[in-house]
């Protein structure tokens, strides 16, 4: 009887631990972080939200996320709003992860548009046309490649790497 109870006890413990290990390696499904970046005369600041859409465990452990970000950019002679939509892959099991993402960024050069409207209003020439906002929108490819510190099941996120339109970025956030 002792042998049977011991066997049942150890079987339950092993089952609980293996299920716990499966849950421990999964990253949380939602994350929010603030990011700042700089690249020579180019700088950005943004807030981003990520949602996990896939998690695979096996020989290749990875999670796939959809990211939406919004913020601002500034450079020599231009400044405005920036938004980004990306698909990100995060590889790794423990605390340290490799991440790569690709998508599209939309920028609006608000400062240059404001200057163009001001020049148009001051100009006395009849040949000048009023500037359109469309002329000051930029569509750029968005990508990032970098390091991510996030404990499986943990809340704290630290990210760093290189991306477009960011440049060299540094991020801090929370997973939930």
Say how far apart CA 69 and CA 89 lie, in whole Å: 16
Q: Average pLDDT of 106-125?
A: 81
Q: Average pLDDT of 122-129?
A: 62
Percent of the chain with pLDDT over 90: 52
Task: Check whether 130 has a pLDDT greater than 80.
Answer: no
Task: Check whether 166 has a pLDDT greater than 50.
Answer: yes
Say how far apart CA 25 and CA 29 lie, in whole Å: 12
Q: Average pLDDT of 16-43?
A: 75
Give CA angle at 163 (40, 108), nearest 5°.
Answer: 75
pLDDT of residue 19: 42
Average pLDDT, the chain: 84
Say how far apart CA 111 and CA 168 lie, in whole Å: 23
**Poorest-pLDDT segment among 35-44, 53-62, 81-90:** 53-62
Say how far apart CA 43 and CA 51 lie, in whole Å: 25
Task: Check whether 72 has a pLDDT greater than 90.
Answer: yes
Q: Average pLDDT of 70-78?
A: 92
Q: Regarding beta strands 156-164 and 42-56, do their DSSP bridges make them parallel or antiparallel, or are they unpaired?
A: unpaired
Max Cα-Cα span within the chain:
102
pLDDT of residue 77: 82
* List of residues 6+ apart from 106 with CB closer than 8 A: 82, 83, 84, 137, 138, 139, 140
Instruction: Give the CA count within 13 Å in the CB-facing half-sphere of 173.
Output: 22
Q: Is the peptide bond before 176 cis (omega within 30 degrees of 0)?
A: no
Task: Check whether 80 has a pLDDT greater than 70.
Answer: yes
């Amino acid at each position: 009887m002792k042998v049977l109870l011991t066997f049942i006890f150890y079987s339950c413990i092993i089952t609980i631990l293996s299920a716990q290990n499966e849950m421990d390696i999964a990253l949380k499904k939602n994350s929010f972080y603030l990011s700042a970046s700089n690249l020579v005369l180019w700088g950005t600041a943004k807030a981003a939200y990520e949602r996990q859409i896939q998690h695979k465990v096996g020989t290749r452990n990875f999670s796939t996320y959809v990211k939406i970000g919004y913020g601002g950019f500034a450079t020599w002679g231009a400044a405005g709003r920036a938004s980004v939509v990306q698909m990100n892959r995060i590889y790794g099991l423990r605390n340290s992860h490799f991440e790569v993402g690709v998508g599209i960024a939309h920028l609006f050069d608000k400062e240059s548009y404001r200057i163009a409207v001001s020049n148009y209003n001051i100009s006395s020439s009849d040949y000048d046309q009023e500037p359109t906002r469309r002329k000051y929108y930029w569509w750029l490819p968005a990508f990032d490649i970098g390091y991510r510190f996030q404990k499986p099941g943990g809340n704290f996120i630290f990210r760093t790497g290189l991306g477009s339109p960011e440049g060299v970025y540094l991020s801090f956030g929370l997973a939930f």
